[in-house]
Structure 1
């Protein structure tokens, strides 16, 4: 059996230790005993980008992606967005960006060097709160979705106030896309009550259409 090797670890703001492992060509990021993400499953993260791009009508869109994860959403967005698009990635944990540029660099190719990309090492909630009408799409793949796992502060993103801030940060016709590890009836109701026209889509975790079903909510702003 190929051993799992610890590559690096870092403290997460608010508490907890995040660790990066490799096993052969695969990578895993965990927090405590919870496995947050793996390079074996990228299908739903890629769908987050491609399905959002299908719903955005702006000719030169500005996407905000929070957070970076393993870079699958960013890579997929760059693959389907026009050359004059912009993609801002907000990642709270600096080590995640360092891992993307170091041991996991081959996974996303030259995505981080793409001139359309800007990396902001900041809480995506703070980025959203400081913007008004700045984005054509906001893509949230933070924590485990609305059911927070890594840090309580993430819950604010999915609260009534957080959804109102996201709506204000979007341009008319913009889209809020929220990834989740599973269904959440309370959040589905909350995002509708926040004034979005909502489409809820179940997406398989793996690129081959297999694996667990994840959920993406697409909320369109009028």
Structure 2
């Protein structure tokens, strides 16, 4: 930068300082005192110093508030190991007599259960894989954004839904009708857990955006609401 440019900048700065002093009713002098009256005694009025004036016209730093990252695994993730454990125990018990096969003499029904279980297992695996491979998942979580794309546009909790489908499939494979009550209990338990933990937090954080998202999707079933 040349000396002429420096002089020009200093001149502009002095003009700006002078205008600010004029706004405060201050004479173009340095320091805090101003003489007034015939005796020339200092008045009790106080004025900004040059340093304070320069500070007042300096741009204030812009503070950007960064949203707190969202956890990848929400409060309901404790449901996963519990459900898997209960399902494993139920499958073992399902092969112990006298509770083996809850519907005696209905062999054809067992094959129906197995076929239905295969379908549920495939759906459950796809839900979990689609959720974990969502390209925007980690980025949006780190930025604290609500995820509503990909599989999340069809269901709000694809991972939990996938776990329910897989565990239900395992129970169908066991062929014990006495154990088929468990998927209903899983559904009720996880619904209550979401209502008490994750959903209030998301509604508080995202407000109307989350409420609108909630009206368009189910918790666990990958079928968008109409």
With normalisation by structure 2, the TM-score equals 0.23
Structure 1 or 2: more helix by fraction: 2
Of structures 1 and 2, the one with the larger relative CO (CA 8 A, separation 6+) is 2
With normalisation by structure 1, the TM-score equals 0.24
